[in-house]
Amino acid sequence: MFVFKAAVVGAGTMGGEIAQVIASSGVPVVLKDVKQDFVETGLRKAEEVTRAQYARLVEKEKVTQEQADTQLEEITGRITGTTEYEGFGDVDFVVEAVPERMPIKQAVFEELDEVTPGHAILASNTSSLAVTEMADATSRPDRVVGFHFFYPASMMRLIEVVEGEETSEETLQAATTFAQQIRKTPIRCGEGPGFVVNRILISAVSEVWRVTDEQGLDVKEVDELIQQSGTAPMGPFYLTDLLGLDTVLHVAEHLNDSHGDRFFVSPAMKELVEAGDLGQKTGKGFYDHG
Ligand SMILES: NC(=O)c1ccc[n+]([C@@H]2O[C@H](COP(=O)([O-])OP(=O)(O)OC[C@H]3O[C@@H](n4cnc5c(N)ncnc54)[C@H](O)[C@@H]3O)[C@@H](O)[C@H]2O)c1
């Protein structure tokens, strides 16, 4: 199935950039959130990312400034914002990117089932939840699939195409092909908690969280040492601030519920989430983002 038009639901940390990736490959995309402000933040993000990508190409003399300006206009022009599912009536593929909470996801899937054409594939960007439970909220469980981008979506190549219990082979093929159409590298995986990448990543980062908590270490010093050692481009606490503390906490809790104490849930992170300090998106997390 070729995707002629797509939609993204949720214009937060991931949604704006996912819409940008889709629009960059030439496919028109509708971006929906619950408030106009949030939609605009997503649209702005898509514009910023495109501008930065083309500024680099101009600097490397791969395109002229005039070509860059035209591309910026064309790419951002393919993204339409809505708060009301306007423009969902003729989409072929939807990526849901709302908060990592099953009740929110199920409500969105139920709505998507009503507003999209019957042939449309409903995909979730979930980091760890069961696609099958989202599919249960629809009348087309065979057309529901996981489609997991990584942060930042405009740069990271991988997409995990996640098979739910009722996902059809046709849907898996179509999602794999769409990932390639938007110039990503798909891998197929089962819907075990954390799928492949987050299960590995969180198991490693868990140990850093655990030791920091047990020994009362300073998170900034831990980050600095990890970065200086060259083990990772940035420390795990700073990375968590960028990803969103609520999202990371839910993934860690889900892995802990499923696999026990070898996945650590950081009390410090939990406290920050309870206080509404979710990282860069709220201006404060482990760090102050001013
Ligand atoms: N943050 C990451 O690094 C990352 C990486 C990969 C996957 N994910 C997954 O992507 C999904 C979204 O994560 P995020 O970090 O972008 O979250 P976020 O909190 O930054 O953004 C979620 C957006 O969804 C909107 N929203 C809530 N209910 C909605 C509804 N009913 N309809 C439309 N929009 C609605 C919110 O207003 C918000 O703008 C989660 O499932 C998460 O696990 C996140």
Express as a percent the part of the chain with pLDDT over 90: 98
Q: Quickly state the pLDDT bin for 290 (edges 50, 70, 90).
A: confident
Q: What is the mean pLDDT of the chain?
A: 96
The whole-number average pLDDT for the span 266-287 is 96
Written as one string, the DSSP assignment of the chain is ---S-EEEE--STTHHHHHHHHHHTT--EEEE-SSHHHHHHHHHHHHHHHHHHHHHHHHTTSS-HHHHHHHHHHHHHTEEEESS-TT-TT-SEEEE---S-HHHHHHHHHHHHHHS-TT-EEEE--SSS-HHHHHTTSS-GGGEEEEE--SSTTT--EEEEEE-TT--HHHHHHHHHHHHHTT-EEEEEE-STTTTHHHHHHHHHHHHHHHHHHTT--HHHHHHHHHHHTSSSS-HHHHHHHH-HHHHHHHHHHHHHHHGGGS---HHHHHHHHTT--BGGGTBSSSB--
Q: Quickly state the pLDDT bin for 1 (edges 50, 70, 90).
A: confident
Of all protein residues, the one whose alpha carbon is nearest to atom 36 of ligand 1 is: 10
Of all protein residues, the one whose alpha carbon is nearest to atom 6 of ligand 1 is: 150
* Stated pTM of the model: 0.94
Catalytic residue, candidates 148, 250, 254, 259: 148
What is the position in ligand 1's atom list of the atom closest to the CA of 250?
Answer: 43
Of all protein residues, the one whose alpha carbon is nearest to atom 21 of ligand 1 is: 12
pLDDT tens digit string along 160-199? 999 999 999 999 999 999 999 999 999 999 999 999 999 9
Is 254 designated active site? no
Q: Which of 127, 134, 195, 289 to mutate to test the pocket of ligand 1 (most atoms within 8 A of CB)?
A: 127
What per-residue confidence (pLDDT) applies to 97?
A: 98
pLDDT tens digit string along 95-151? 999 999 999 999 999 999 999 999 999 999 999 899 999 999 999 999 999 999 999
What is the position in ligand 1's atom list of the atom closest to the CA of 105?
Answer: 31
pLDDT tens digit string along 36-68? 999 999 999 999 999 999 999 999 999 999 999
The whole-number average pLDDT for the span 205-217 is 95
CA of 50 to the centre of ligand 1 (A): 20
